[in-house]
Homo-oligomer: A and B are copies of this chain.
Amino acid sequence: MRLRALIICTGILLCLSLAQAQGKAPDVVKYHATLETVKYVYGLAPPVARLAPGDVLETNTLDAFGDAIQKPGDTLALVKGDNPLTGPFFIEGAEPGDTIAIDFMALEVNSRQGVGAFAPGFGALNSTNYTPMIQAPLPERIWLYPIHPDDNTATFQAHDSSFSVKIPLHPFLGCIGVAPSDGEARSSVVPAEFGGNMDSSEASVGNTLYLPVNVPGALLYMGDGHAAMGDGEIAGTAIEVPLRVRLRVRVIKGQKIDWPRFENKDEIMAVGIYRPLDDSLRIAFAQLIGWIHQDYGLSELDAYELLSKVATIHLAEMVDPNYVVIAKIDKKYLPPRKISR
């Protein structure tokens, strides 16, 4: 078991050394989620499984509609709850004030079609619960996207014309998060400091996600798989699919972060989540400046100036109750790292 994990691990940042440092062979923990076992809230709940640091988790997620939309004519009235979550997973040794690292190892679309929809309450250019308008609402509409494993694409078929086009798959987890701090519990449609419905394509293979630990065991949840999504997710949905998930979880003891972060071999990425987008951006860059200052030793003002010249921004979504902006810098622009996470 250990050998296989290590081989897959190649290229995942630091995972080999960490597994070794922890002095145990990582296990593979398998868990199968169903509509009966999913949750709809990030918060305290009995764990469905326990993971030791370095363990690999193999599990599955239902799609954002609980796999309820299957054929033409199915409507959103069939949906029991939005964004059913697989979990929670208890991460052994994770205590409040620590950080967990999640290495995405494999994500595969677990169905033959995906779903897109105008979901009431979501959408950047239509009335929502939080930006209500008095114009007539958009009609409910559902698009089905056949998935083609052979060429790794999905097909968009227009409703109002015969046009169709293939879209390359880039599977990622729209939802991944832990129990919030301060005793809060949050709906599975919300992204916030604890992660959650970030709808960030960064939550995919090749990247590591860092999340703050707020309760013993962290209590990791995931769901809302996306086969592909445009920046902003502007109509409110991606190509919604169930996923097969393989990821590794690590614990970084005694290092506290306030907001989610991503990293891969080339970039460090800080996530800002709130409304309006202006404040999401401010949070993301304030976090990235702090990260550069603490781990790479640049002064905060030098980091601010440097980012003004070389940062990149990913505007992940502007349709959930909070909006997500990710600020990034290529490591080639940074001094040697002083602190590893």
Q: B-contacting residues of A (Cβ < 8 Å)?
A: 40-41, 43, 116, 118, 124-127, 130-138, 141, 143, 145, 156, 158-161, 163, 165, 167, 182-187, 228-239, 274-279, 281-283, 285-286, 289, 297-302, 304-313, 315, 318, 323, 325, 327, 332-335
Cβ of A165: which chain B residues have Cβ within 8 Å of it? 306, 332-334
CB distance from A288 to the nearest CB of B (A): 10
CB–CB B298/A182 < 8 A = no
Given the interface pairs A184-B186, A230-B312, the reply to whether A304 lies near B125 with Cβ below 8 Å is: yes
User: Closest residue of chain B to A132, judged by CB?
Assistant: B286
Contact yes or no, B275 A274, CB < 8 A:
yes
5 contacts between A and B (CB under 8 A): A40-B183, A229-B309, A232-B281, A276-B277, A315-B325
The reply to whether B158 and A285 contact each other, CB–CB distance below 8 Å, is no
The CA-CA distance from A323 to B229 in the complex, in Å, is 24
Please give the distance in Å from A259's CB to the nearest CB on chain B.
10
| Max chain B Cβ within 10 angstroms of own Cβ: one of A116, A304, A309, A333 | A309
Whether A306 lies near B156 (C-beta < 8 A) is yes
**Contact call A309/B116, Cβ cutoff below 8 A:** yes
Indicate if the CB atoms of A305 and B134 lie closer than 8 Å: no
Asked, given contacts A158-B298, A159-B299, whether A124 binds B310 with beta carbons under 8 Å apart, the answer is: no
A228 to B, closest residue via Cβ:
B309
| Contact present for B135 and A305 (CB under 8 Å) | no
In the complex, are the beta carbons of A43 and B299 less than 8 A apart?
no
Contact among B43, B228, B282 for A124, CB-based, below 8 A: B282
